[in-house]
Amino acid sequence: MRLIAFSGALMLGLLSAQSINAASIYAGQARAAAVCSQCHGIKTPSADAPFPPLAGRDFAYLKSALEQYRDKTRKSEIMNAIAGSLSDNDISNVAAYYAGLKP
Ligand code: HEC
């Protein structure tokens, strides 16, 4: 009986950890589709577009690039304006979403 309760708790723990992950990628996907994809595309922008592709890029790279755009240590009129309205959570979510895509 005690064993069953224990494994039940373990299962619950695993399940909620998974849904937190899914939620952040899902939120990142929603934002990417609404905002970022207009320039970056979901997977690849058109070949002659001036926008760097994001799919499959390193999570840490995407996250730090967005943080640098937000605090304007990396300059781009467009990206400074866009990243300025992102919270830490938003940044993690979109970075997780794009990093998880196959380019
Ligand atoms: C209006 C067009 C536009 C939109 C919308 C846009 N971007 Fe960008 N993005 C750019 C341009 C242009 C650059 C290149 C800027 C530069 O020279 O640093 C860029 C660069 C980036 C880079 C750096 C890539 C690299 O190779 O270093 C990241 C990361 C990025 N954008 C993420 C995002 C995310 C996430 C969103 C949505 C929240 C977004 N962008 C929305 C135009 C856009």
Q: Which of 37, 39, 44, 63 is the best mutation target for the ligand 1 pocket, counting ligand atoms within 8 Å of the beta carbon and taking the most? A: 39
Q: Which two tokens stand for residue 2?
A: 């005690």
55 lines ligand 1 (CB under 6 A): no
Q: Which residue has the tokens 């939620």?
A: 23
Q: Quick one: pLDDT at residue 34?
A: 86
Share of the chain above pLDDT 70, in %: 72
pLDDT tens-digit map of 9-62: 555 555 455 555 666 888 899 888 889 988 888 776 666 667 898 999 999 999
- CA gap 21, 25 in Å, rounded: 6
Q: Which of 35, 61, 78, 94 is the best mutation target for the ligand 1 pocket, counting ligand atoms within 8 Å of the beta carbon and taking the most? A: 78
- CA gap 59, 70 in Å, rounded: 17
pLDDT tens-digit map of 49-82: 678 989 999 999 999 999 999 999 999 999 999 9
**Residue having the nearest C-alpha atom to atom 38 of ligand 1:** 36
pLDDT tens-digit map of 73-94: 999 999 999 999 999 999 999 9
